[in-house]
Amino acid sequence: MLWIVTLQRYGTRGLLQGGLLSVGLIVLALLPLALADQGAGVAQAYFGSVGRFPKATTGAFNLWYLVTMGTRMHDSVQLAGLLSLRQIGLVLVLLAALLVVIALAWRAFRSDTTGAPIALQAAAVLALAFFLLPTQIHERYLFLTLAFLAATIASNRYMVIPYTLLVTTATLNILGDLKGFSPLAYQLIQASPLPQICAIVNLLVLAALVAHMFMGHRWRWHTPRWGTDN
């Protein structure tokens, strides 16, 4: 996503300069840890996270909550003897990332706006896909999407709708998975179809955001900006 947006806005030279600057900043940030002999811990954080919680879902009301109906199924289970749940989830995340790149490139080639609003929406899609599609996801990861969606509201007031829906489902997910916040709310949510409803709503929001990335220019008359009359 960053590659497409940077290339469209600043060209090849800007992409090269930004890439070199990013690499330099990462090296500077990691250098103290490497000097303190913490390089192995940093590598573990980036390359060893997958597999630490090998469940189809670790509390997230997402695709795998619907598939497993909330059971703590191991994500090494294979479907039809071909791919494991973990592998299927990673493939789905890859497909979501490809859709984001294609949407950004398509909007750029159509000379549509590919500045902050579409980039923020693309980031929201990636964050939501990361919550919904892979295995081993915790309930709190849904809140990452909200920061990007909140920033899109300034340019598109109708983004309040997916934002409000995800705030609601994220709150219910926290209360319905972490008993310590409110034991009564936990019991009521777990005894109701709310977890499945939340998972379905989250998936529908993802589908709507992906569609809007591709078709947003056609819906412009439906999505007036703040302070305008159209």
DSSP assignment of 29-90, as one string? HHHHHHHTT-HHHHHHHHHS-TTSS-BS-BB--SHHHHHHTT---BTTPEETTTEEHHHHHH
**What is the pLDDT, as a whole number, of residue 108?**
63
If you average pLDDT over every residue of the chain, what do you get? 85
pLDDT digits (tens, 9 = 90+) for 170-184: 999 999 999 999 999
pTM flag (> 0.75)? yes
Enumerate the domain spans of the chain: 1-48, 54-222
∠ Cα 52 58 59 (to 5°):
160
Contacts of 178 (CB under 8 A, 6+ apart): 59, 139, 186
The C-alpha atoms of residue 199 and residue 206 are separated, in whole angstroms, by: 11
Q: Token pair for residue 156?
A: 């598109």
The C-alpha atoms of residue 130 and residue 144 are separated, in whole angstroms, by: 10
Q: What is the DSSP code (8-state) at residue 110?
A: T
Mean pLDDT for 86-90 is: 93
User: 10-14, 105-109, 212-216 — which one is most confidently predicted on average?
Assistant: 10-14
**What is the pLDDT, as a whole number, of residue 218?**
53
